[in-house]
Amino acid sequence: MSMFAGRIASRGDTPASTANIANIITVVRILMAPLFIVLLLEDDGRLGTLRWVAAVLFVVAIVTDSLDGYLARRLNLVTDFGKIVDPIADKVLTGGALVALSVLGELWWWVTIVILVREFGITIFRFVVIRRSVIPAGTSGKLKTVFQAVAISLFLFPLWTLIASPTWDSAVHWVNWVVMAIAFVLTVYSGVDFVIKYARANRSVGR
């Protein structure tokens, strides 16, 4: 069957096309990730136009993450392809941003490594156990996603360069690190919480 067979952008109960509007947005988000990373690294810490363009691209990609999920649910366009590719798109985008910031020396490597291990570890774990048990994202997982997006965005936008003041510079960096710290704690906590919930669900099924 052709990937274009089925509904692309209309609501209904018939099978949705793999190439539906929600999945197209997801794929575009994946393609935006390398462009964003190249621009960020090309700026090389000079905090010029390329840095601002890269930051805007990241925010646009993050916003479309909510859009494709909304369209998939609203128009009943959920597909197996979308279920697999959507989380991959998120990890490629946030993971790429974290690695690039660490390469530029703006974010400690251990923070990036811990977050990446958690993100990819839980994603792989979900794929492995999805046939036996589906654990929905909890509140901590949703908060983690929001704070990661905000923290990375704050690091990407060089807001401290807008006003030539040591006080402003210090305040902006302080806020950036506080939000990143919250995102880091939520990332670790939500990962542990997911594993605990899965263990409990598995235990109850085995009784």
Per-residue pLDDT reduced to its tens digit, 161-188: 998 899 999 999 999 999 999 999 999 9
Model confidence, pTM: 0.88
pLDDT at 3: 57
CB 152 within 8 A of CB 94: yes
Per-residue pLDDT reduced to its tens digit, 6-31: 778 788 788 888 888 888 999 999 99
pLDDT at 207: 52
pLDDT at 132: 61
DSSP category for residue 162: S
pLDDT at 49: 95
Sequence-separated (6 or more) residues with CB below 8 Å from residue 193 = 138, 140, 141
pLDDT at 1: 47
Write out the DSSP string of 93-118.
Answer: HHHHHHHHHHHTTSS-HHHHHHHHHH
DSSP category for residue 158: -
DSSP category for residue 48: S
Cα 89 versus chain centre, distance: 7
pLDDT at 122: 87
Q: Which residues of the chain carry a pLDDT beneath 70?
A: 1-4, 129-137, 202-207
| Domain definitions of the chain by residue range | 21-206
Q: Which CATH architecture has domain 21-206?
A: Up-down Bundle (1.20)
CB 155 within 8 A of CB 106: yes
Residue 167: other Cβ atoms inside 10 A: 8
Q: Which helix (H) or strand (E) holds 17?
A: none
pLDDT at 78: 84
